[in-house]
Amino acid sequence: MKRGSVRTLPALLTVIIAIPALAACSAQPADCEFPSGDASSVVTVEGPLGTAPSIDMPTPVIAESTEVSTVVKGEGKRLSPGQPALVDVSIVNGATGEVLQDTGYDGGVLLTAASESLPPVTEALECAREGSRLVVVGTAEDTHQGQPIPQLGVAAEDSLVFVVDVLETFLPKADGTPRAGNNGDPAVVLAPNGRPGITVPNTEAPEEAVISVLKEGDGPTLEEGDKAVVHYTGVTWADEKVFDSSWEKKQPAIFELREGALIEGFLDGLVGQNVGSQVLLVIPPELGYGEQASPSIPANSTLIFVVDVLGIAE
């Protein structure tokens, strides 16, 4: 499978996410409302949702803890922990008012509510509704642990301001109706958060591809050309080792369903499935990577995937 989100994070987001998180930056408010505070309330944002905003604020903007102001209150569903969303983000240095980077405003990037990545933005997402625009102000400690980012002009003591547009929300895991699996297929056991564990039977790998729906969703049907939002785990039949998993990354993926973007067996297994479904795929070598080897996948490997179809990115 040629892995890769259709949209990628800008460098500053990548740098911040790479900084090890020592602890969550603040507790989730019981009423799911962060305080609007003096810092976030002085940031003025103008422009339509999903477009690069005009941002004005006095400097320096300093917060003692995470503050969130809702500039545009969306009418969509409220995000829950572990639920992914497509967002656009502008990042501003609270000390100077300079816009450091943004996500490009060409469809957004995936972030997961209440995940460890990019605090305090992902914490604020837990309280957000689809269609909202938020101003999030985080302390230097919460956003970059007080570590300078010299390549972007961020000093150790600088707070960061994030303008976050919540464009689309998706399922946190497959929510379809369970269906009985086939005898002889790999067994799948789910953790409470939906993460699958896969047990491979002590038999020879099948010569033909297997597509087995473990949960039948009732959402829209995936078509070729769609951008599918999925959680997945992949193991090799021969050694039962996980070679790739979005669950381990704590971040779903977006895959464009087209020939050449994905291995044939993965593409064939997803086209025609409904949002909310969970699908078991067994892919023989000729529909996978064939004789091509990688550090985690030996040549001529039969691959097993469990895929949760979370949504379709527009």
The rounded distance, in Å, linking the Cα atoms of 233 and 212 is 15
Q: Cβ–Cβ contacts within 10 Å for residue 67, how many? A: 26
Question: In this structure, is residue 6 part of a structural domain?
Answer: no
125 and 87, same structural domain?
yes
Per-residue pLDDT tens over the stretch 85-124: 999 999 999 999 999 999 999 989 999 998 877 888 999 9
What does the pLDDT read at residue 120? 87
What does the pLDDT read at residue 117? 77
- The average confidence (pLDDT) of the chain is 90
134 and 84, same structural domain?
yes
Question: In this structure, is residue 40 part of a structural domain?
Answer: yes
Take residue 261 and report the two structure tokens written for it: 């973007």
Question: In this structure, is residue 100 part of a structural domain?
Answer: yes
Per-residue pLDDT tens over the stretch 230-286: 999 999 999 999 999 999 998 999 999 999 999 999 999 999 999 999 999 999 999
**CATH number for the domain harbouring residue 88:** 3.10.50.40
Domain that holds residue 272: 177-313
> pTM of the entire structure?
0.88
Question: In this structure, is residue 3 part of a structural domain?
Answer: no
Q: Which comes out higher in pLDDT, residue 160 or 37? A: 160
Confidence of residue 19 (pLDDT cuts 50, 70, 90): low
**Number of folded domains in the chain?**
2
What does the pLDDT read at residue 3? 44
Residue with tokens 């469990």: 306
263 and 151, same structural domain?
no
149 and 26, same structural domain?
yes
Question: In this structure, is residue 188 part of a structural domain?
Answer: yes
What does the pLDDT read at residue 118? 81
The residue among 147, 169, 191 that closes a domain is 169
Span 175-198, average pLDDT? 96
The rounded distance, in Å, linking the Cα atoms of 139 and 25 is 9
The rounded distance, in Å, linking the Cα atoms of 141 and 131 is 29
The residue among 121, 152, 169 that closes a domain is 169
157 and 65, same structural domain?
yes
Question: In this structure, is residue 269 part of a structural domain?
Answer: yes
What does the pLDDT read at residue 39? 87
